[in-house]
Amino acid sequence: MADVAPFKIYRAAQAADFNELDHMEYAGLTPIIEAGLAKAGEVTNKDAGNVVKELFSMPGMSLTYAWFKSGFPLPLHTHNADCLYYIVAGSLKLGTEELGAGDGFFVGSNVPYTYKPGPNGVEVLEFRTANKFDIRFMGKTESYWNKTAQALADKQDAWVGERKPSEVAGQMVPAE
């Protein structure tokens, strides 16, 4: 890390759309997963249900902002890097735990996880121990991906115009 500047400022207004970067590689794709991802992409013609921006990146570290809209069906997945999540606004349900603004959770490398954004969605900061990492989806069946695509399709109209939880008064709304 000798080539890394000892001090750096980043600005949210200059954050790059994460989908336009090559910092996350798909791993373990099967024909079923590829078809499921394609189907999910096809049904999100009005609104993808999420916004992900990279705020900061350097070798061995990255910081990402993500806004998942209400009920976004985040597929069960893993990454090959540790990640610490901080909830900026809104809420989510992680297993049986309901978490809100100011809460967070740690997910170790290669640990499968998913969460469900609450009724106002959730905004999180993702602190990772890598600037390049993979994503490996754990849903292996066609029915799993059909259910995910249907959940995306069902939320299209509701997501159009949905505001960030940080813009909504009373942001600590319990997850469903």
pLDDT, tens digit, for every residue of 85-108?
999 999 999 999 999 999 999 999
Mean pLDDT of the chain: 92
Instruction: Quickly count: other Cβ atoms within 10 Å of residue 119's Cβ.
Output: 14
For the full predicted model, state whether its pTM sits above 0.85: yes
Structural domain tally of the chain? 1
- Residues 79-88 have a mean pLDDT of 98
In a domain, 121, yes or no: yes
In a domain, 170, yes or no: no
In a domain, 175, yes or no: no
- Residues 147-171 have a mean pLDDT of 89
In a domain, 10, yes or no: no
Tokens matching residue 136: 């490996």
In a domain, 52, yes or no: yes
Query: Residue 104 and residue 109: Cα distance in Å, rounded?
Result: 16
User: Among residues 67, 54, 72, which one has the least CA distance to residue 133?
Assistant: 54
User: Among residues 87, 138, 130, 94, which one has the least CA distance to residue 112?
Assistant: 138
β-strands 104-107, 50-58 pairing: unpaired
Residue 171 has pLDDT above 90, yes or no: no
Element of type H or E holding 148? helix 142-159
In a domain, 84, yes or no: yes
> Left (φ > 0), alpha (ψ -120 to 50) or beta: where does 170 sit?
left
Query: Residue 122 and residue 175: Cα distance in Å, rounded?
Result: 9
In a domain, 174, yes or no: no
Query: Residue 125 and residue 104: Cα distance in Å, rounded?
Result: 9
Percent of the chain surpassing pLDDT 70? 93
Tokens matching residue 139: 């849903």
CATH number at residue 106: 2.60.120.10
User: Among residues 154, 139, 151, which one has the least CA distance to residue 36?
Assistant: 139
In a domain, 72, yes or no: yes
* Structural domain boundaries enclosing 93: 15-158
